[in-house]
């Protein structure tokens, strides 16, 4: 697999979906969309795992420990690209912080990918509802292109 700097066009959609694991939402609602985008990519399951742990995790993990979380619907893709290129650990040891959290979600996503790629029963979903909780109220927002406020 090429380093991220040499593979931006194919990496961006993967980064954009995997970042949702670190948003202040019920991240399980993003699984189907993550799986669909990953399965459409050129990457193997193992390569996507490396992208998650060594590129996305180091770039956006800060969103999990800041309270309140600065972002809940996903970072704008140009910002995300710059951040991943600055923080990635391509070819290095996986970061320790949030490794168990990431591994637990990755296992469920990987299992869905394997099931779907082998013709299993889950349908691919192009959109997903993100549950937003702010100030005690709840609502649903259809996920579309991200823009920074």
Residue 25 belongs to domain spanning: 4-141
**Is residue 149 one of the residues assigned to a domain?**
no
Domain count within the chain:
1
pLDDT, one tens digit per residue, over 71-89 is: 556 888 999 999 999 988 7
The structure's pTM equals 0.71
49 CB-side CA count, 13 A: 16
**Is residue 146 one of the residues assigned to a domain?**
no
**Is residue 129 one of the residues assigned to a domain?**
yes
**Is residue 147 one of the residues assigned to a domain?**
no
What are the beta bridge partners of residue 140? 131
**Is residue 148 one of the residues assigned to a domain?**
no
pLDDT, one tens digit per residue, over 92-124 is: 665 555 677 889 999 999 999 999 987 754 443
**Is residue 20 one of the residues assigned to a domain?**
yes
Task: State residue 75 phi and psi, 5-degree precision.
Answer: -75, 150
User: Could you give the C-alpha distances from 7 to 1, 37, 81, in angstroms and in order?
Assistant: 9, 16, 11
């Amino acid at each position: 697999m090429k380093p991220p700097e040499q593979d931006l066009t194919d990496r961006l959609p993967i980064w954009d979906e995997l970042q949702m694991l670190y948003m202040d939402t019920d991240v399980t609602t993003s699984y189907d969309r993550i799986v669909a985008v990953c399965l459409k990519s050129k990457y193997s399951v193992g390569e996507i795992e490396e992208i998650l742990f060594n590129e996305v995790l180091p770039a956006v993990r800060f969103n999990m420990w800041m309270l309140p979380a600065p972002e809940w619907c996903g970072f704008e893709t140009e910002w995300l690209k710059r951040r991943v290129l600055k923080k990635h650990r391509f070819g290095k040891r996986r970061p320790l912080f949030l490794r168990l959290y990431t591994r637990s979600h990755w296992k469920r996503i990987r299992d869905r990918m394997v099931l779907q790629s082998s013709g299993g029963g889950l349908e691919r979903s192009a959109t997903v509802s993100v549950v937003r909780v702010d100030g005690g109220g709840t609502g649903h927002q259809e996920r579309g292109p991200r823009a920074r406020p």
